[in-house]
Amino acid sequence: MGAPGLDNQKDRTQKRVRLRSVDDLADRQLRSRQPQAQAELKLDLHPKKIVIKSWRQGIDFVGYVHKPWTVVVRTETKNRMLKKVSAKNLTSYFGVAKHADSYKLIQNLKNIASHSGQGA
Protein backbone atom coordinates (compact mmCIF):
# COMPACT_ATOMS: atom_id res chain seq x y z
CA MET A 1 0.00 0.00 0.00
CA GLY A 2 1.42 3.39 -1.05
CA ALA A 3 1.15 6.90 0.31
CA PRO A 4 -2.27 8.43 1.04
CA GLY A 5 -4.01 9.90 -1.96
CA LEU A 6 -2.45 7.62 -4.55
CA ASP A 7 -4.31 5.13 -6.73
CA ASN A 8 -5.32 1.72 -5.40
CA GLN A 9 -5.87 2.72 -1.78
CA LYS A 10 -7.98 0.43 0.40
CA ASP A 11 -10.71 1.84 2.61
CA ARG A 12 -11.72 0.40 6.02
CA THR A 13 -13.79 -2.37 4.43
CA GLN A 14 -10.73 -3.45 2.39
CA LYS A 15 -12.41 -2.66 -0.94
CA ARG A 16 -10.29 -1.11 -3.65
CA VAL A 17 -10.89 2.61 -3.98
CA ARG A 18 -9.56 4.67 -6.86
CA LEU A 19 -8.78 8.30 -6.16
CA ARG A 20 -8.32 10.57 -9.15
CA SER A 21 -5.49 12.49 -7.53
CA VAL A 22 -4.10 13.83 -4.29
CA ASP A 23 -6.44 16.81 -4.82
CA ASP A 24 -9.42 14.52 -4.20
CA LEU A 25 -7.94 13.47 -0.87
CA ALA A 26 -7.27 17.08 0.11
CA ASP A 27 -10.82 18.03 -0.83
CA ARG A 28 -12.22 15.14 1.22
CA GLN A 29 -10.14 16.10 4.26
CA LEU A 30 -11.09 19.76 3.97
CA ARG A 31 -14.79 18.95 3.72
CA SER A 32 -14.63 16.40 6.57
CA ARG A 33 -13.03 18.99 8.88
CA GLN A 34 -15.48 21.75 8.03
CA PRO A 35 -18.00 20.78 10.75
CA GLN A 36 -15.21 20.71 13.34
CA ALA A 37 -14.00 24.15 12.27
CA GLN A 38 -17.52 25.52 12.45
CA ALA A 39 -18.28 24.00 15.86
CA GLU A 40 -15.00 24.43 17.75
CA LEU A 41 -13.43 27.45 16.12
CA LYS A 42 -16.63 29.17 15.00
CA LEU A 43 -15.20 29.46 11.48
CA ASP A 44 -17.03 29.16 8.20
CA LEU A 45 -15.37 28.11 4.96
CA HIS A 46 -16.54 30.29 2.11
CA PRO A 47 -17.48 27.93 -0.75
CA LYS A 48 -16.28 30.33 -3.45
CA LYS A 49 -12.94 31.03 -1.76
CA ILE A 50 -11.78 27.43 -1.49
CA VAL A 51 -9.56 26.66 -4.45
CA ILE A 52 -8.03 23.26 -4.89
CA LYS A 53 -5.95 22.93 -8.00
CA SER A 54 -2.89 21.15 -9.25
CA TRP A 55 0.49 22.17 -7.88
CA ARG A 56 1.66 22.48 -11.48
CA GLN A 57 -0.74 25.42 -11.94
CA GLY A 58 1.12 27.25 -9.22
CA ILE A 59 0.17 28.86 -5.96
CA ASP A 60 -0.61 32.57 -6.17
CA PHE A 61 0.87 34.16 -3.04
CA VAL A 62 1.99 37.72 -2.22
CA GLY A 63 2.50 38.90 -5.79
CA TYR A 64 4.28 35.77 -7.01
CA VAL A 65 3.17 32.49 -8.54
CA HIS A 66 5.07 29.58 -6.98
CA LYS A 67 5.40 26.51 -9.19
CA PRO A 68 7.42 23.34 -8.58
CA TRP A 69 10.13 24.44 -10.99
CA THR A 70 10.05 28.25 -10.71
CA VAL A 71 8.76 31.37 -8.99
CA VAL A 72 7.46 34.15 -11.22
CA VAL A 73 6.03 37.59 -10.56
CA ARG A 74 2.24 37.51 -10.91
CA THR A 75 1.14 38.91 -14.31
CA GLU A 76 -1.03 41.58 -12.71
CA THR A 77 1.86 42.68 -10.48
CA LYS A 78 4.29 42.71 -13.42
CA ASN A 79 1.95 44.80 -15.57
CA ARG A 80 1.41 47.29 -12.75
CA MET A 81 5.16 47.58 -12.24
CA LEU A 82 5.83 48.24 -15.92
CA LYS A 83 3.05 50.81 -16.07
CA LYS A 84 4.05 52.73 -12.94
CA VAL A 85 7.85 52.53 -13.01
CA SER A 86 9.53 55.81 -12.02
CA ALA A 87 12.81 57.02 -10.56
CA LYS A 88 11.30 56.78 -7.07
CA ASN A 89 10.21 53.16 -7.25
CA LEU A 90 12.71 51.61 -9.70
CA THR A 91 14.93 50.18 -6.95
CA SER A 92 11.90 48.75 -5.18
CA TYR A 93 10.72 47.04 -8.36
CA PHE A 94 14.18 45.54 -8.89
CA GLY A 95 13.88 44.14 -5.36
CA VAL A 96 10.52 42.55 -6.17
CA ALA A 97 11.87 41.09 -9.41
CA LYS A 98 15.04 39.61 -7.89
CA HIS A 99 13.03 37.16 -5.76
CA ALA A 100 11.63 35.49 -8.89
CA ASP A 101 12.86 34.08 -12.16
CA SER A 102 12.44 37.40 -13.92
CA TYR A 103 15.40 38.16 -16.15
CA LYS A 104 13.14 39.58 -18.89
CA LEU A 105 11.21 41.73 -16.41
CA ILE A 106 14.45 43.22 -15.05
CA GLN A 107 15.62 43.95 -18.60
CA ASN A 108 12.27 45.62 -19.40
CA LEU A 109 12.52 47.77 -16.27
CA LYS A 110 16.07 48.79 -17.21
CA ASN A 111 14.96 49.66 -20.76
CA ILE A 112 12.05 51.75 -19.55
CA ALA A 113 14.27 53.52 -17.03
CA SER A 114 17.01 54.25 -19.58
CA HIS A 115 14.54 55.52 -22.21
CA SER A 116 12.96 57.89 -19.76
CA GLY A 117 16.34 59.18 -18.60
CA GLN A 118 16.12 57.68 -15.12
CA GLY A 119 19.17 55.44 -15.32
CA ALA A 120 19.30 51.88 -14.03
Residues 37 and 4 both lie in one domain: yes
Residues 63 and 30 both lie in one domain: no
Residues 63 and 46 both lie in one domain: no
Output the pLDDT for position 7: 46
Measured CA to CA, the distance from residue 102 to residue 120 in angstroms comes to: 16
DSSP three-state, residue 61? strand
Residues 8 and 37 both lie in one domain: yes
Q: How many domains does the chain have?
A: 2
Query: Would 47 be classed as within a structural domain?
Result: yes
Instruction: Domain of residue 93: give its range.
Output: 56-115
Q: Does the pLDDT of residue 21 top 70, yes or no?
A: no
Residues 40 and 69 both lie in one domain: no
What value does the mean pLDDT of the chain take? 77
Residues 45 and 85 both lie in one domain: no
Sign of the CA dihedral with 87 first, then 93, 98, and 104 last: negative
Residues 4 and 34 both lie in one domain: yes
pLDDT per residue over 27-64, tens digit each? 677 777 777 777 777 767 677 777 777 778 888 888 89
